[in-house]
């Protein structure tokens, strides 16, 4: 698929996944925001793509990223085998559209809420991550 034919951020995400599957590093480079390429080792990216066995892409959610938007976020999970281990890469990717063309710009942190199903004791570490005992923190 040509970069100019891609209409949404999700379409670009799917096309980039396919490019990693087929080791089409030219498409990966072309679809990466040219203003945000500092520090990328393209040879290492290609090595990783070639040495991995790609198992599938799951789109978790999209925020904006439609045909009329200028940016968007696609959260996804890409599953692959590397060195005999199955890995699930979970990422939120930020995309920008410039002059009608979508580009991958960067990854964004995944934020989640941790639910502790076990009962917390008064002297246990606080599940909020403060490093304090529960009784001295959220258990007050």
Per residue in 35-53, pLDDT tens?
999 999 999 999 999 999 9
Q: How far apart are CA 44 and CA 3, in angstroms?
A: 23
In the predicted model, residues of the chain with pLDDT beneath 70 are 112-122, 124-135, 137-140
Instruction: Check residue 126 and give its pLDDT.
Output: 59
Residue 100 DSSP SS3: coil
Instruction: Check residue 115 and give its pLDDT.
Output: 45
Size (the chain), residues? 140
Instruction: Check residue 1 and give its pLDDT.
Output: 78
Sign of CA dihedral 127, 133, 134, 140: negative
Looking at the DSSP bridge assignments, the partners of residue 95 are: 72, 104
Q: How far apart are CA 12 and CA 101, in angstroms?
A: 10
Instruction: Check residue 112 and give its pLDDT.
Output: 56
Q: Which residues of 17-48 are buried (b: 16+ CB within 10 A; e: fewer)?
A: bebbbebbbebbeebbeeeeeeeeeeeebbee
* Element spanning 81, H or E: strand 71-82
Instruction: Check residue 108 and give its pLDDT.
Output: 92
On whether the CB atoms of residues 88 and 79 are closer than 8 A, the answer is: yes
Instruction: Check residue 111 and give its pLDDT.
Output: 72
Instruction: Check residue 41 and give its pLDDT.
Output: 94
Instruction: Check residue 129 and give its pLDDT.
Output: 63
Q: What is the pTM for the complete model shown?
A: 0.77
* Torsion on CA atoms 121, 125, 126, 132, rounded to nearest 10: 120
Residue written as tokens 């005992």? Answer: 133
């Amino acid at each position: 698929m040509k970069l100019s034919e891609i209409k949404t951020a999700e379409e670009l995400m799917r096309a980039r996944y396919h490019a990693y599957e087929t080791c089409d590093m030219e498409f990966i480079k072309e679809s990466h925001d040219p203003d945000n390429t500092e520090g990328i080792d393209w040879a290492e990216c290609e090595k990783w793509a070639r040495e991995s066995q790609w198992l599938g892409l799951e789109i978790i959610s999209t925020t904006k990223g439609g045909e009329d938007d200028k940016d968007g976020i696609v959260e996804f999970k890409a599953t692959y085998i590397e060195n005999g281990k199955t890995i699930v890469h979970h990422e939120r990717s930020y995309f920008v559209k410039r002059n009608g063309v979508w580009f991958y710009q960067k990854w964004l942190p995944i934020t989640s809420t941790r639910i502790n199903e076990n009962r917390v004791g008064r002297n246990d570490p606080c599940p909020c991550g403060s490093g304090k005992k529960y009784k001295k923190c959220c258990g007050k």
